[in-house]
Amino acid sequence: MSEPSARDHWGDDRTTFQRVYDVIVGTTEPVSAAVFAERADCSETAARGALEQLTEMGVARRQAGRPATYRRNDSYFRWKRVESLADEHSPAALRDRVDDLIDRDREFQDRYGVPDPDAVGTDDLAVDDHDELHDRWDDLREWRTVRRDIRVLRDAVDRAESRTDDGAVA
């Protein structure tokens, strides 16, 4: 039995553009149109055309060079997330979630005795204490996520409130 192809994964109902979009969503490091073509199961020319469209739309970022490389535009996806949150939740619900995350942020500050996850070191851990080291890394990853989510949710609160102020339904 052979490995399923990308086309089998998507089915016949996804266009080349849609498949390239699906690939760009998960592409955080710059890669060439040839790599996109392979991942999206299309020709390099078709991938490059879709990537140029996505770049014009602000979904992708193009880095000049030979060959040119592309990656997702994180700012676009952040904006899209803010818009989605503002559409789906009231300002009050978003503020409640921000408050919960601020409490979680304070818990991390208290646990580690520093105001920021980047100020936490690992020098105080025994070299052979792998479990403790992994637990700390997990905490720091979560703490950074909490900080990022607070920023996104605050923007969503502002967006939802501005819609309410403009007379739109929030």
pLDDT tens for the 170 residues of the chain, in order: 444 445 566 667 889 999 999 999 999 999 999 999 999 999 999 999 999 999 999 999 999 999 999 999 999 999 999 999 999 999 999 999 999 999 999 999 999 999 999 888 767 655 566 788 888 889 999 999 999 999 999 999 999 999 876 555 44
Tokens of 44: 């390099």
Tokens of 135: 């637990």
- In angstroms, the CA 35 to CA 20 distance is 10
Strand order in the sheet with 60-63: 31-32, 69-72, 60-63
Rg of the chain over Cα atoms, rounded to whole angstroms, equals 21
CB 68 within 8 A of CB 78: no
Query: Which DSSP category does 127 fall into?
Result: T
- In angstroms, the CA 39 to CA 54 distance is 16
The closest alpha carbon to 157, from 103, 81, 95, belongs to 95
The closest alpha carbon to 68, from 54, 52, 46, belongs to 52
CB 152 within 8 A of CB 81: yes
Q: What share of the chain is helix, strand, coil (3-state, %, to 5)?
A: 65, 5, 30
Q: Which fold has domain 6-72?
A: Arc Repressor Mutant, subunit A (1.10.10)
Query: Which DSSP category does 42 fall into?
Result: S
pTM equals: 0.74
Say if residue 51 is exposed, middle or buried (CB neighbours under 10 Å; 0-12, 13-18, 19+): buried
